[in-house]
A and B are shown apart, each in its own frame.
Chain A
Amino acid sequence: MTSATLAPDRPAGNRRSVRGGLPLTRVSGLGLGVAMVWFSLLVLIPLAAVAVTAAGGGWDGFWRTVTNEQTAATIRLTVGTALLVTLVNIVMGTLIAWVLVRDNFFGKRALEILIDVPFALPTIVAGLVLLSLYGPGSPLGVNIANTRIAVFLAFLFVTLPFIVRTVQPVLAELDPEVEEAAASLGASRYTTFRRIVLPSLTPAIAAGAALSFARAVGEYGSLVLLTGNLPMRTEVASVRILSSIENDNLDSAAAVAVVLLAISLAVIVVLDVIQRRVMRRG
């Protein structure tokens, strides 16, 4: 996702605002009805089915499944690694966006394309790609396959575009004259960045961080070949859900899935709050 989806000419935080408009006519009302039926059949009802199935076992059943030793370990690993990766992305993503906007050098266009590669590349291929440099027979002489570092690396790869693509358009619209004014008044470059640039970027960074965290938490494809899915060591939550599905244990699959869905939902709420705050300010 995302993602190359994140067009470089998007307003702050990459969230569209859709206020106002005409009242519905008969045709547009019908269109909305059809669209809502389709959206419900495809997204809303299936996601509700996950919640209902998870609730079917009662709170005790849900809690027992989620706190099962092996399951809890996968959730801890997934959330912990996703947080770590998001922190790295906050620093590296902002840095990359900065270089892409403020610097100009031969090969910048190529870097722009590289940023979007993780978004468009099939996740299973992403895993294979990383395996070829960091797996057995690596030209670098390292082998991180089947370790927790592999989980970290896979998350880092698939979430690369998110913060870059949300920060880039905001940074491009910042007026450099304000920074020059701060500098001419004697502010050091660090002070200028912290007091002038960073506050304007914070909503975009937060929005990108939320997306990148959500993406990492749900990641599956890039881990299949890379991490070996060792229980208690490199197994992540989505792999755990899949093995429950394959063992025909849909109830416990749904219980773990609800935890992931709750995280996605929290991310959406956070994004919405950030968007509202930005709009109020602007």
Chain B
Amino acid sequence: MAEHLIAARTQVGRRPGRYVLRIVVTAYLFFLVAWPLYLVGRNAFADGLTSLNDILTDPDVTHALRLSVVIAVAAVVINTVFGVGISILLVRYDFPGKRTLNALLDMPLSVSPIVVGLALVLVYGGREGWFGPTLESAGLQIIFAVPGMVLATVFVALPLVIREVVPVLQEVGDEQEQAARSLGANAVQTFRRITLPAIKWGVIYGVVLSLARSLGEFGAVKVVSGNVLGETRTATLVVEEKYLNFDKGGSYATAFLLALVAVACIIVVSVLRPKEDR
């Protein structure tokens, strides 16, 4: 009876405060994210489908969109292979310097994209970079070319797969892997038949998030790309270029396409994740 009363009292006591908080939070997110995001969609369709149609028939823009996709896919593939490998090493093995490596792997998340670009130019720049002139005389141009843009994108999205896969690996434990080994499975078989299925969802979230991040990279790519029309211009660079050249329709339409992909990625992850948790 007494418990019942207390429960009832806290319920009633909570109510008004709860509505206030709910309204404050909803309003904050509405003004900071939802309304501005909606306006970009509306601005993109201000002239009906004209802006969207214009950019999709502009060969420079379609080239930029294609380049963005190519770079993002390359970066995601590299980061997935590296990320899954390093996650397994971090979780399953012990080696000197592991803690330091673990901390350093998060570094790309807190380094400014402009600093990332600068760092890559200083090492791979064709004229005075540390390795750049050697690589260039071997016929491999990195800065102001696609390889540099891939490197920059890989750098900024590096920790995403690792951050998703490591906790999953820790949670599933290594009993099944040990069992497989003791039954005679080799390392490749164990990975393919036991480890990979167990961490599948972690890898998928990591890949989707990396894809969103890679498609949208701007600062680091801007520094290393040289932004050459029809060659090293990506979709995000088109948004800036068009806006500064007073082609707001084109800018909003390109931004709309990028935002669409980004929001789609988040929705995919948020729809998949709770199912997995249950």
Contact = CB atoms under 8 A, between A and B. Distances in A.
Interface in A97-134: 98-99, 102-103, 105, 107, 109, 111-125, 128-130, 132-134
Contacts of A204: none
A202 interface: no
A66 B35 CA distance: 39
B24 interface: yes
B247 to A, nearest CB: 13
Interface residues of A, number: 102
A219 B113 CA distance: 7
Interface of B: 6, 10, 13-14, 17-18, 21-22, 24-26, 28-29, 31-37, 39-40, 43, 82, 85-86, 88-95, 98-99, 101-124, 128, 130, 151, 154-155, 158-160, 163-164, 166-167, 170, 187, 205, 209, 212-213, 215-219, 222-223, 236, 239-240, 243-244, 251-252, 255, 258-259, 262-263, 265-267, 269-270, 273, 277
B101 to A, nearest CB: 8
A22 B93 contact: yes
A233 interface: no
Contacts of B265: 120
> Chain A's interface: helix, strand, loop or mixed, by majority?
helix
Given A3-B109, A117-B262, A218-B111, 19 more contacts: A4-B212, A23-B93, A38-B82, A39-B105, A42-B158, A43-B155, A46-B123, A47-B119, A113-B263, A113-B270, A128-B252, A132-B39, A183-B10, A218-B113, A220-B112, A220-B113, A237-B112, A241-B114, A260-B112
A268 B29 contact: no
A62 B31 CA distance: 42
13 contacts: A7-B164, A9-B277, A20-B94, A45-B130, A49-B122, A95-B25, A116-B270, A121-B259, A124-B236, A139-B39, A160-B33, A180-B10, A257-B114
Contacts of B28: 92, 96
A253 interface: yes
Nearest to B89: A32
A102 B106 CA distance: 30
A247 interface: no
B22 A99 contact: yes
A35 B160 CA distance: 16
A49 B114 contact: no
B173 to A, nearest CB: 12
Nearest to B6: A184
Nearest to A276: B99
Contacts of A21: 91-94
A281 interface: no
A16 interface: yes
A178 interface: no
Nearest to B34: A114
B258 A238 contact: no
